[in-house]
């Protein structure tokens, strides 16, 4: 069990030295040598062209499960700030850790991240593992996965939670595969039953809610949908222990190079799942061009435009705008549904919004069952009137 250099195969090329984020490999007498601080993260194995590194991690069946303690979260950043979903994860992790009598750990990777520690500690985090390096400023699957895998192998958390965002959905399976543990994707509920993490998620097209457990593997790992967990009020008097992990990333050994980042939204624009106001259009919008009236309204009230799947499938909006079971879950202060019937698959993505306004010509549309305010009428008449009135009133302030 562990890691071994096959001396006959090693050429001393040094690629593994560059690839090791923990600076745990040296070249001695033209052969690679593994140092005691190796975490078994596997970055060297992936880069070695000569199959000269043998890595054997503990199999799930060989693990002493009692050694695994604490509930960890992966903290996702948006540019230089912590994404709201990370606070949701921290709040949930705190609740779970209290039930288990364990600590909450958070991992923050990035360029300069120490100044963010107090922000996440305020949500109940006890220990924060930070790794700072300019090559971690941009998310990079192999660097992030290597470091996180190494940290998990070293510190043995009981549970690791990731956001079910694009980043989390890319990172978590990599780490789970490296650790040979299961991963429950897209959870909408988490609780503890008989000491195990009960991971709840929709299954069979949303017709049932499945409760999933990982009784024999550690850590228990899950990705959690943004906007489904409540965020507790921060307590700025809380402080966390900070453990700085020295990392060394040689750009020459990076297996993935990010050449260009093309943003689909302007910098500073709120994303759909973080917006306070969402105005969504459905099949009732009739065409892509007609969404202009929703964009105008969004501009007036500083909202973001979303869509039902019917509107997305019709090609009127990009897939990233879809709200619902197979799209995004949103939880804004105000959700305005225009020409959306409110089928269950749409409702699951927006029903936790604080206030819901529905505009629909059909008084029997199910969206009215969950709306706080329902307007039975033609959206092409109602939305421009609403926009004009709001403009008049907002200009008075």
Residue from the set 361, 372, 373, 394 that interacts with ligand FAD by CB under 6 A: 361
Q: Are 240 and 126 in contact (CB under 8 A)?
A: yes
Stretch that binds ligand FAD, among 51-59, 83-91, 172-180, 339-347 (CB under 6 A): 339-347
Using CB under 6 A as the binding rule, whether residue 380 contacts ligand FAD is answered as yes
The residue from 105, 110, 339, 374 that contacts ligand FAD (CB under 6 A) is 339
Radius of gyration of the chain (CA): 24
164 lies in the site for ligand FAD, by CB under 6 A: no
Using rule CB under 6 A, residue 356 touches ligand FAD: no
- Asked if 185 touches ligand FAD (CB under 6 A), the answer is no
CA distance 56 to 179: 11
Handedness of CA 31, 37, 40, 42 (dihedral sign): negative
- Asked if 95 and 117 count as a contact pair (C-beta separation under 8 A), the reply is no
Q: How far is residue 295 CA from its own chain's centroid?
A: 27
Task: Give 110: exposed, middle or buried? Use CB within 10 Å, 0-12, 13-18, 19+.
Answer: buried
> By CB under 6 A, is residue 387 in contact with ligand FAD?
no
- Counting DSSP H helices and E strands in the chain, the numbers are 11, 21
Stretch of 19-27, 71-79, 252-260, 336-344 contacting ligand FAD, by CB under 6 A: 336-344
Instruction: Mark 188-197 as b/e (b = at least 16 C-beta within 10 Å).
Output: bbbebeeebb
Q: Which stretch binds ligand FAD (CB under 6 A): 34-42, 124-132, 210-218, 317-325?
A: 317-325
Binders of ligand FAD in range 188-247 (CB under 6 A):
205-206
Distance from chain centroid for Cα 78? 11
Q: Which of 21, 124, 219, 284 binds ligand FAD (CB under 6 A)?
A: 284
Q: Give how many residues touch ligand FAD by CB under 6 A.
A: 30
Residue 322 as a binder of ligand FAD (CB under 6 A): the answer is yes
How far apart are CB 323 and ligand FAD at their closest, in Å? 6
368 by DSSP, 3-state: which?
A: helix
Which letter does DSSP use for residue 207 in this model? T
Q: Which of 107, 175, 359, 386 binds ligand FAD (CB under 6 A)?
A: 359
CB of 373 to ligand FAD, least distance (A): 15
Closest to ligand FAD by CB, 218 or 346:
346
Query: Does 370 participate in binding ligand FAD (rule CB under 6 A)?
Result: no
Residue 52 as a binder of ligand FAD (CB under 6 A): the answer is no
- Rounded Cα distance between 95 and 89, Å, is 10
Q: Decide: is 341 part of the binding site for ligand FAD (CB under 6 A).
A: yes
For residue 301, the minimal CB distance to ligand FAD (Å) is 19
Q: Which of 141, 232, 345, 352 binds ligand FAD (CB under 6 A)?
A: 345
365 near ligand FAD, judged by CB under 6 A:
yes
User: Is 362 among the residues that bind ligand FAD (CB under 6 A)?
Assistant: yes
CB 163 within 8 A of CB 73: no
Please report how close the Cβ of residue 321 comes to ligand FAD at its closest, in angstroms. Answer: 10
Decide whether 113 or 297 has the Cβ nearer to ligand FAD.
Answer: 297
Q: What is the DSSP string of 139-196?
A: --HHHHHHHHHHHHHHH--SEEEEESSHHHHHHHHHHHHHHT---EEEESEEEEETTE
Which residues contact residue 394 at a Cβ distance below 8 angstroms, ignoring those fewer than 6 apart?
300, 301
Give the whole-angstrom CA distance, residue 87 versus residue 125.
Answer: 10
Q: Would you count residue 300 as binding ligand FAD (CB under 6 A)?
A: no
Is residue 282 within the footprint of ligand FAD (CB under 6 A)? yes
With contacts defined by CB under 6 A, name the span among 68-76, 121-129, 290-298, 316-324 that binds ligand FAD.
316-324
State in angstroms the smallest separation of the CB of 206 from ligand FAD: 6
Examine residue 374 and tell whether it contacts ligand FAD (CB under 6 A). Answer: no
Contact by Cβ (8 Å): 206, 348: yes
Query: Does the protein bind ligand FAD through residue 360 (CB under 6 A)?
Result: yes
Cis peptide before 167 (omega within 30 of 0): no
Structural contact between residues 217 and 64, judged by C-beta atoms closer than 8 angstroms: no
Note the residues at the interface with ligand FAD (CB under 6 A).
205-206, 282-284, 308-311, 322-327, 339-341, 343, 345-346, 349, 359-362, 365, 378-380
């Amino acid at each position: 069990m562990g890691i071994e250099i096959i001396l006959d195969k090693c050429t001393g090329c040094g690629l593994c030295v560059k690839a090791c984020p923990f600076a745990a490999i040296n070249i001695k007498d033209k052969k690679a040598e593994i140092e005691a601080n190796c975490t078994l993260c596997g970055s060297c194995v992936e880069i070695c062209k000569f199959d000269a590194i043998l890595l054997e991690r503990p199999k799930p069946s060989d693990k002493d499960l009692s050694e695994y303690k604490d509930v960890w979260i992966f903290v996702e950043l948006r540019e230089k700030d912590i994404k709201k979903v990370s606070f949701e994860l921290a709040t949930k992790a705190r609740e779970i850790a209290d039930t288990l009598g364990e600590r909450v750990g958070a991992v923050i990777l990035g360029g300069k991240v120490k100044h963010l520690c107090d922000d996440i500690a305020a949500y109940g985090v006890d220990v924060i593992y930070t790794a700072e390096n300019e090559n971690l400023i941009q998310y990079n699957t192999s660097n992030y996965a290597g470091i996180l895998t190494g940290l998990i192998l070293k510190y043995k958390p009981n549970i690791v939670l990731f956001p079910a965002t694009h980043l989390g959905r890319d990172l978590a399976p990599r780490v789970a595969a490296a650790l040979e543990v299961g991963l429950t994707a897209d959870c909408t509920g988490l609780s503890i039953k008989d000491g195990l993490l009960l991971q709840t998620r929709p299954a069979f097209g949303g017709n049932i809610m499945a409760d999933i457990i990982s009784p024999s593997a550690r850590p228990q790992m899950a990705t959690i949908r943004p906007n489904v967990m409540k965020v507790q009020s921060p307590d700025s008097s809380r402080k966390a222990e900070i453990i700085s992990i020295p990392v060394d990333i040689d750009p020459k050994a990076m297996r993935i190079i990010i050449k260009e980042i093309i943003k689909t939204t302007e910098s500073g624009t709120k994303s759909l799942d973080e917006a306070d106001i969402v105005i969504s259009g459905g099949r009732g919008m009739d065409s892509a061009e007609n969404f202009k009236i929703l964009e105008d309204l969004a501009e007036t009230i500083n909202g973001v435009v979303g869509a039902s799947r019917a509107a997305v499938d019709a090609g009127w909006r990009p897939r990233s705008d879809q709200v619902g079971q197979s799209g995004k879950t949103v939880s804004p202060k105000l959700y305005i549904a225009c020409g959306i019937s409110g089928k269950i698959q749409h409702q699951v993505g927006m029903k936790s919004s604080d206030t819901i306004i529905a505009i629909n010509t059909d008084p029997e549309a199910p969206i009215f069952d969950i709306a706080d305010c329902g307007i039975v009428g033609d959206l092409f008449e109602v939305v421009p009137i609403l926009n004009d009135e709001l403009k008049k009133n907002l200009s008075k302030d």
